[in-house]
Amino acid sequence: MVEIAEGRADALAGLAASSRRVAAADMTSLPAAARFVFRGREGAIEPAGRAFGVGLPRAACRFAEADGRLAAWLGPDEWLLVAPGADAGPIAAAIEAETAAVPHSLVDVGQRQVAIEVSGPAAATVINAGCPLDLSPEAFPAGMAARTVLAKAEIVLFRTAPETFRIEVWRSFAAYVWQSLDEARREFV
């Protein structure tokens, strides 16, 4: 079973290693992370954020970050929690301990998803080749996150800095999304 998990952790390694560098829109396969989808209402939100180490944002399409951990608002009672390099077990135990007295749901999706970072002055243009969102800095500034599509794949898109985006995508669509982005970068080579 360990071999399967190790293979899953490097879902994009081959593509990332063979992709050319494009300074205008560089792409990086991000390391493995603990990931959860948390669902809860008013009494669960604050304790869950406290246990995770990042307050869960209450504003639509926003994310909060602390010590590399991300909490993204996905819906009125739904958040994606990402902890790079972390072991999911202790995080889940801490959140469950803090929210045990209130209705909630915590689902480990760490093996379901991988992440790609696209950065550089043409990053938004490259992503917009397959994503319908307005990624202008005025419409989608740093600190925003949204569930959307890229080509035909569902993604969660974060703008982590003015020229840097994080794409969370299901592992089964990762190669497709990577290749779509790589194709869009061709005009910048």
Render pLDDT for 49-71 as a digit per residue (tens, 0 to 9).
999 999 999 999 999 999 999 99
For 42, the domain range is: 33-111
Please report, for the domain that includes residue 38, its CATH number.
3.30.70.1520
Q: Tell me the angle at which helices 88-99 and 42-52 cross, rounded to the nearest 10 degrees.
A: 140
Render pLDDT for 164-177 as a digit per residue (tens, 0 to 9).
999 999 999 999 99
**Does 91 share its domain with 118?**
no
Please report, for the domain that includes residue 162, its CATH number.
3.30.1360.120
**Does 85 share its domain with 133?**
no
> From CA 71, how far away is CA 84, in angstroms rounded?
12
* pTM score over 0.85: yes
**Does 45 share its domain with 3?**
no
Render pLDDT for 19-51 as a digit per residue (tens, 0 to 9).
888 999 999 999 999 999 999 999 999 999 999
Render pLDDT for 96-125 as a digit per residue (tens, 0 to 9).
999 999 999 999 999 999 999 999 999 999
Give the number of domains in the chain.
2
**Does 119 share its domain with 105?**
no
- Is the distance from CB of 8 to CB of 171 less than 8 angstroms? yes
